[in-house]
Structure 1
Amino acid sequence: MSTRATALTSDDRVVRGARWSLRFRRRTLAVSSILTAVLLVLLVAALMIGEYPVTPAALIDTLRGHPPARLDEFFVLGRRLPRSLVAIVVGASLAVAGAVFQSLTRNPLASPDVIGISSGASVGAVVVMVVAHGSLAQAALGAVVGSLLVAGVIALLTARSGLHGVQLILTGIALSATAMAVVDYVLTQVFVASATTAQTWLVGSLQGRGWADLVPALVALILIVPLLVWAAPGARMMALGDSVSTSLGVRTVRVRWILLAAATLLVAVAVATAGPISFIALIAPHIARRLAGATSFVAAGLMGALLLLASDLLAQNLFSAPIPVGVITITVGGAFFLWLLWREAARRA
């Protein structure tokens, strides 16, 4: 069983170096390439479309450092490019984290916003921003602490049954409700203006995001990706079950904790950067898995980046006035979540 499960298929390819080897599937590579191309098209559209339209020629000149007008430079380099890059990085971080949680728990409903990780990050960030009047960097630290605390509680409460099953979802829902109750209490104890700002942030918004917001999220993603690349083979084997993966030489406990910590940190930084944007972490891995035919952190990340950038484009241009991007993701993601619940119920019937 283990030999067949880990053997190469006709769709698999291996690239070998002197001391390393890389296994990939042709279908996954093709899907990732298409997603990258679509993402680039969306990025160009995001730089051109808006209250101040930018022509293709003006966009090229501006990106080359020779903007035809000051407004071109302001809108492209000062507002749209950093905001779009933040959307790409945050969307990729959330989607990769969602793929990790779903892979670890072997549960299609597991995602940071469903099991409470995002809510824990929200508590930490809101307390730092609203109560302690901290900066964005300090709020990011608060989000990390809050998300790690919730992840630790989930790990302790599900220690016997493992990180899977109905118990995990119910535990996450209970922790998420508790965390949001804490957030609501904090917001009732501050000035109305501060509470309004925090409420907008809690929906998930990219409004006003600039180069300074991009740096911590991008650094976190760059630092955590090597860990995920290292742990990905073990994660694939763990999908066969702990007993099988252990017999194949995978240190399941170490790999599980490394993946859990990496995914939690990605969520924390993403939440601190753009607020708890809902459902990207849930739906992006599912769509990527259906397209690629297998779990792929790369395809999931690209899909998450594409979904959040597309949602932000709709949030800015679809209505008479811009709305928080979280409104779009909640609407689309909520419908997708209901479809997942219906599918799971139909499968078990």
Structure 2
Amino acid sequence: MPPAETERAVITLRAGGLSIRVHPRSLAVGAVLLLIALAVALVNLTTGDFPVPVADVLRSLGGRGDAGTDFIVYQLRLPRVLTTLLVGAALGASGTVFQGLTRNPLGSPDFAGLTVGAASGALIVMLVLGGGGVQVAAGAIIGCVVTSVVIYLLAFRRGTQPFRLVLMGIGVSALLDAANSYLIYRSHLDEAIAAQVWLIGSVNGRTWTEVTIVAVTVVVLLPLVLYYGRHLTMLTLGDEIAVLHGVPVQRSRAVLALAAVGLAAGATAAAGPIAFVALAAPPIAARLSRSPRAGVLPAAAMGAALLTAGDWAAQHALPANDVPVGIVTAALGGVYLSWLLFFQRRNR
């Protein structure tokens, strides 16, 4: 795109000392994706063992429903739907930050080893300490944070290079996978089944506790990612260029990395290590936005749309079976990676 077109495609809003650059197409794409996610979420509220008409669901959400409908909506379905939306948004935002900081399309929490680290923390709580519920969520968050610190320290050598972070993340992920398999192998059958279901990634049976965990994560960390995300494009071009444009490189990178780790940790604590959403959402949003890199909001909206649609598919993929959404996202992720490799091969 010529420079003149690029300038016309960007709107700069100023309020006091704060300046915000808005890309109209990215904003429109994000808004459309959010509407799609909310529409699919509404459909998910109406379907299940007890179908509820859309009008009754809307009346219940507006505080004018009957007791039976309120119970189905607020106790059985709304926690799952909200968990799906928030987890998808957290993974989408986390994925675009990781891909920007590592300058690598595979730089997501999945490949960086963070979700496996969260799984290790959760499995230790479940299979070794005998905890459950909030304790498992806390274990997942601690495991994710500790793993990120270990990967950073192992990859650090006179600074951190993006490719070293990714490679070290893959290596640590393989080691933790082996440890997780050993923990499951040594556990009792019922514990092993419960742990394996958690490792797949699922929003089945989620309660308001999981909604609170991921909601607090998103409300606290997403504004930080949005604010410092202004610098992400410059950081992808290199530290020297970023410094020349007045970007506080070290502070921006540290805040973005910590916020992305926190978003991935909160999402995994609420729904388990759901695969490929953080990997696929940013590049798909970028293609729709016709930009080299996805903005934080379009990527978050795409993540919410992907996971919500995946949950709908998980509920209808097999007759009378509500399969974990992680199975659907893993299948979609495999198709996406195959398509990506094929597309790059054709363009060579």
TM-score class, shorter-chain normalisation, is over 0.9
- Ranges in structure 2 where 5+ consecutive residues have no aligned partner: none
Contact 2:102 2:166 in 1 (8 A): no
- Answer whether contact 1:155 1:163 (CA < 8 A) is retained: no
Cα deviation, residue 270, structure 1: 1.0
Shift of 1:345: 5.4
Code of the residue aligned with 1:134 in structure 2: it is G
Residue 42 of structure 1 contacts residue 310 of structure 1 at CA under 8 Å; is this kept in 2? yes
Provide the residue aligned with 1:312 in structure 2. Answer: 311
Q: Which amino acid aligns with 2:311?
A: D
**Secondary structure of residue in 2 paired with 1:238:** helix
Quote the residue 1:337 is aligned against: 337
Aligned ranges for residues 1-349 of structure 1 at < 5 Å?
Answer: 9-68=7-66, 70=68, 72-160=69-157, 162-165=160-163, 167-294=164-291, 295-320=294-319, 321-344=321-344
- For 1:131 and 1:344, locate their aligned partners in 2 and report how far apart those are by CA, in whole Å: 45
3-state SS in 1 of match to 2:184: helix
**CA deviation vs aligned residue, 1:157-214 (integer Å, no higher than 9, x gap):** 333484423x444322221111111111111222211111010010001110011210
Paired residue secondary structure (1:114): coil
Q: Secondary structure at 1:14's aligned position in 2?
A: strand
Structure 1 residues 106 and 343: alpha-carbon distance in aligned structure 2, compared to 1, 3 A threshold: farther
- Write the deviation string for residues 302-334 of structure 1: whole angstroms up to 9, x where unpaired: 110111011011111231111111000000101
Question: For residues 275-327 of structure 1, what are the alpha-carbon distances to aligned partners after superposition, in whole Å with 9 as ceiling and x for unaligned?
Answer: 10000000011111111123201000011011101101111123111111100
Cα distance in 2 for residues equivalent to 1:201 and 1:214: 17
Percent of aligned pairs with the same amino acid? 38
State the secondary structure of the residue aligned to 1:276. Answer: coil
Structure 1: distance between partners of 2:345 and 2:147: 28
One-letter amino acid of the structure 1 residue matched with residue 29 of structure 2:
V
How much has 1:343 moved relative to structure 2? 4.2
Of 313-322 and 99-108, the range deviating more from structure 2: 313-322
State the secondary structure of the residue aligned to 1:228. Answer: helix
Q: Quick check: 24-33 or 232-241, which moved more?
A: 232-241
RMSD: 2.0
Alignment partner of 2:22: what SS? strand
2:40 aligned partner, one-letter code: L
Q: So what's the TM-score if we normalise by structure 1?
A: 0.92
The alpha-carbon distance between structure 1 residues 343 and 169, as it changes in their structure 2 partners (threshold 3 A), is farther
Measure how far apart 1:266 and its partner are: 1.0
**Change over 3 Å in CA distance of 1:346–1:115 after alignment to 2:** farther
Change (3 A) 1:163 1:84: farther
Alpha-carbon distance in structure 2 between the residues aligned to 1:148 and 1:61 = 42
CA distance in 2, matches of 1:223, 1:148: 16
SS at match of 1:23: strand
Corresponding letter in the other structure for 1:48: T
Distance 1:301 1:29 in 2: 12
Segments of 5+ residues of structure 1 without an aligned counterpart are none
How far apart are residue 144 of structure 1 and its match? 2.3
| CA apart distance, 1:75 | 2.0
Q: Is residue 89–residue 300 contact of structure 2 (8 Å, CA) maintained in 1? A: yes
**Could you tell me which amino acid in structure 2 is paired with residue 77 of structure 1?**
Y
| Rounded Cα–Cα distance in structure 2 between residues aligned with 1:187 and 1:250 | 46
Look up the equivalent residue of 1:334 and give its one-letter code.
Answer: G
Alpha carbons 2:94, 2:263 under 8 Å: kept: yes
Distance 1:52 1:135 in 2: 29
* Residue 109 of structure 1, CA deviation: 1.4
CA contact (8 A) 1:109 1:340 kept: no
Residues 231-254 of structure 1: CA distance to partner in whole angstroms, max 9, x if unpaired?
112212112211111222222222
Paired with 2:343 and 2:98, the residues of 1 have a C-alpha distance of 20
